[in-house]
Amino acid sequence: MYTHNLDCIANLKTLCNLHGISGREYKIRSAIISMIDGFCEHKTDNIGNLICYKKGLNGERAQKLMVSAHMDEVGLIITEITDKGYLRFSSVGGIDPRVLVGINVLINDMDDNFIPGVIGIKPIHFLNAAEKDTAPKEENLLIDIGSKSKEQTEKYVKLGSSVNFFENYTELGNEYICSKALDNRFGCAAMVDIIKKDVQYDTYFAFTVQEEIGTRGVATAAYAIQPDISLVLEATTACDIEGVDTSKQVCKINGGAVVPFMDKSNIYDYELYKKVINFAKNNNIPAQTKNVIAGGNDSGTIAKTGSGVKTIAMAIPCRYIHTPSCMASILDIKNTTKLAALFVNDFKFS
């Protein structure tokens, strides 16, 4: 059996602490290139995907394999500067406005400088009864950068500037990681880990853009590569917290790699799904599936490329996804990376 020594955690910290909302992934792409340069052939396409080709020790496989993960994270984008110098914004990707109240943010201006700010709201002391019982709406939230006027703010921030959650990568005890952007810097770190080792057969890897706003980048990557089989590496929602019925928890942290059979974007190849579940079991790698049909990822777009692509996904369970403080298990991260590496090298595709 192929053996694989893991060092994905160090790369994960580096990538999580970088900023790259959808359409602004260039810092992530540059960091990944520095990690993989010399280990594979790579190029960047017109939309910003990083497409890599790794030659295998045993040459081509009968069916072309593409492994992919998206580089972008959820965030905000500036849409208005008020007369008093506050900033209005729209979300980039699916963000619950409740997680934005009172958080620190970094605004990336057009010159690549980061301006700190805070998302403010009316104090609780001044809320009426109806307001206290209502979740805040995005249009009622403002970013405060400590400016006195519109003119002063315009010296630092422009319309279209991206807004990022603060970098906050933290290891909780010896078992968990809490950070922004675990969705999907995990997948990127896992692919870097696989690329930097020998692989048995020629394999394509795609670090994609703009997944969070409609899986846009992977459409061009899959069109260029034209794979027969695709593995998507992701982070997926875990609702295994107090107050959520077990039938609605989707998946569980420390339950192993999540291998879905269906989500809101795709029905995965059933034969491939069954074989991967058995493959994990035979290699003593913990694996689970999703007990709720929810979410989606790049696989839904990949499956429809060309004459069709057989798709499968592997994901880490992630609590508090699409917030400044996503949480995942180090054990799940290592096991999912190991399963992906074995899939690339030992899985029988025929």
Q: Is the pLDDT of residue 122 over 80?
A: no
- Beta bridge partners of residue 326, listed in sequence order: 179
Chain-centroid distance, C-alpha 59: 30
- How many angstroms separate the CA atoms of 287 and 292, rounded? 16
Would the pLDDT of 349 be above 90? no
Is omega for the bond preceding 283 within 30 degrees of 0, making it cis?
Answer: no
What is the average pLDDT across 66-73? 98
* 3-class DSSP state of 40: strand
Structural contact between residues 179 and 325, judged by C-beta atoms closer than 8 angstroms: yes
- Token reading at 136: 């805040």
38 vs 281: CA distance, rounded Å: 34
SS3 346: helix
What b-and-e string marks burial along 10-26, b requiring 16 or more CB atoms within 10 Å of the CB?
ebbbbbbbbbbbbbbbe
Q: Name, in order, each residue with C-beta under 8 angstroms of 329's C-beta and a sequence gap of 6 or more.
A: 175, 176, 177, 253, 254, 316, 317
- Specify the range with the lowest mean pLDDT, choosing from 160-169, 238-247, 252-261, 326-335: 238-247
pLDDT at 111: 80
pLDDT at 266: 95
Full-model pTM:
0.94
18 has a pLDDT exceeding 80: yes
Residue 131 falls in the annotated catalytic set: no
Domain architecture of the chain: domains with CATH: 8-73+180-346 (3.40.630.10), 75-165 (2.40.30.40)
Both tokens of residue 209?
A: 């853009």
Query: Per the structure block, which two tokens stand in for 120?
Result: 């403010």
Q: What is the DSSP letter of 182?
A: H
CA-based nearest residue to 328, from 253, 273, 276, 266: 253
Q: What percent of the chain has pLDDT over 70?
A: 98
pLDDT tens for 191-248 read 999 999 999 999 999 999 999 999 999 999 999 999 999 999 999 999 888 888 888 8
Residues 339, 286: Cα–Cα separation, whole Å: 9
Residues 315 and 274 sit within 8 Å (Cβ to Cβ)? no
Which candidate in 25, 73, 211, 234 is catalytic?
A: 211
The two three-digit tokens of residue 231, written as one number: 């593995």
Least confident of 118-122, 154-158, 160-164, 281-285: 118-122
Give the separation between CA 341 and CA 350, rounded to whole angstroms. 18
Query: Residue 341 in contact with residue 193, Cβ under 8 Å?
Result: yes
Read off the pLDDT of residues 232-283 as tens digits, 9 standing for 90 and up: 999 999 988 888 888 888 999 999 999 999 999 999 999 999 999 999 999 9
DSSP 137: P
